[in-house]
Structure 1
Amino acid sequence: MRAATYRQFGPPEVVRIEETPKPAPRPGEVLIKVHASTLSAADRRARSRSVPKGLQVLAALALGIFRPRTRVLGMDVAGVVEAVGPGVSAFTPGDEVVAMLGARFGGHAEYVSVPQDGAITSKPRNMGFEQAVTLVFGGLTAHGFLTRAAIRPGGTVLVNGASGAVGTAAVQLAKHLGARVTAVCSDANRDLVTSLGAERVIDYATEDFTAGTQTYDVIMDCVGNATFERVESSINRCGALLLVIADLRAILLASGRSRRSGKLVTAGNIKYTAEDLAFLVSLAEAGQYQAVIDRTYELSDIVEAHRFVDAGRKRGNVVIRVAAGAIKR
């Protein structure tokens, strides 16, 4: 099978298309013929091993010390079940599915095996593969962090970095919960985040959202620059700071800051589940979740896709089309 592989850490050019063995599903696994995946900021960090301050050693242990432990990136997939291993009863060949691979990676290939009890569920019936895969990485990450906070109808949520994969998902999910959403992004993305449900937009280039008197029940940081010291006074009493991107110091101090301030400060990994993914699928099928795609690249153009993500200006998701004919059904 074709796969986008990398054998050393570095710039986009370390990734190349190779022929690799097609996996066979083991007991309890589902083999997926991949139609689409995304290329996320997490893939970029894994490829370059560029991580927030203090996490370099942990990243080396997880990703590989001298060379990549896993040669195929891609944290999510949308595709068709090709075969199932012994003991699989939840899926059958021909099922259209979406799945989160997480730190196992492997989505930038024509086939990948996924445990049937992992984060895998049926694809939205009203979306094609390329649209459906956008629910997975961004949607699950945003949902996982937002569920850590008590968001009530009429509550106020600020999303810092609202135009990326996680940010566009967070705006939609917070709006679904009944929150009044403020989006921080560039002015060029104002119309996008407004269409997703943001009531107010702050252009980070001209305004510091912490400089005024406005406060919020929840601040969700998808950029990595909303430190607790910077935003504490902008969080309401008993509010929350959700650090999607955080350095080691912020992670280690989170629980202590929560106790001392009475404001929830949370960072670190989230758990990806089939139940959460099915929830996102249900929202999409109800017309309450939009796929946000900036660009779509063929698998053969994977290096160019990495270059684009490296630029740090993508809107929503960058989709990798793996199988030919990945069209809406």
Structure 2
Amino acid sequence: MATATTNGIITCQPPKTDHLDGQGYLFGYPIAHSLSPLLHQTIFESLSLNWDYFLLPSTDVQQFLSLIRNSRCYGSGVTMPNKIAIIPHLDDLTPECRAVGACNTVYWRDSKLIGTNTDIAGVRESFLQNVPESRFRNRPGLVVGGGGAARSAVYALVEYLGCKTVYLVNRDASEVEAVMSWCKSQGYGDGLIHVSTVAQAEALEGPGAAVACVPNFPPVTDAEWEARRILECFLSKPHQGAMLEMCYHPVVWTEIAELSKKAGWEVILGTEAMIYQGFEQARCWTGRSLEDLPVQRVKEAIAKELSRARL
């Protein structure tokens, strides 16, 4: 596998093939609302690449494999519910992909189809590019949620953002236990703490970096209300950190974003994570560094599209 790591960060070597008119896909379902085509077409146009990026609303892995094995295909994105299903069909995985057990990006190297996970980079860069490190370095992290996105968030907090301890808050205890078990089995879960009551939260040190990985729904059940009260307890502690709200659809500004802002926390919109994971994908496909990619142009295009969609 022609993939190296520098200080723990995956470094993708430039593609061996010269795709003059390449094509790629976003493989998942449902994906009609995805901003990925806009993001990548903006990047490709800025780099003068005659590449296309298509939505592939499907769960048919064999169909997807037949498309990406076309000589014109530079790679593709993979989203729910296919992030785990695609793994057995790949030739190799990057260390980060193995660590979180989910693949959201595939690319070609040395005639091998490689799987990686750029959601981690999305979380990492959302903080590093937007927040003073004094907000989160050497403090506990916090993850709200219990799915695959939570594993990526935990990995980013532990491996890149200096969080030796990470609190997990979720309405479903079994989901939290599954996340903790997986992360421990992969070597980055020893500092995880399931916070299940407000009394427990009150006794803990305040977190610095928080990631919300849940849909924007108001609490209804007793378990949902307890999880919300635990979050509010952490937000009300003296140290005011930064909250990355991963949810940005159908609205960008969520209830958790509003709660965090009112508590004095810095709020990072979910579009930042989406954009930076997309830059990491483009880096794997093109071999360009982040400094070579049109960061501001992409942010402006995404903001314009979201503004238009709200009209």
Same fold (TM over 0.5): no
Q: Which category of TM-score, normalised to the shorter sequence, fits these structures?
A: 0.3 to 0.5
TM-score (norm 2): 0.45
Whose RCO is larger (CA < 8 A, sep 6+)?
Answer: 1
TM-score (norm 1): 0.43
- Which structure carries more helix by proportion? 2
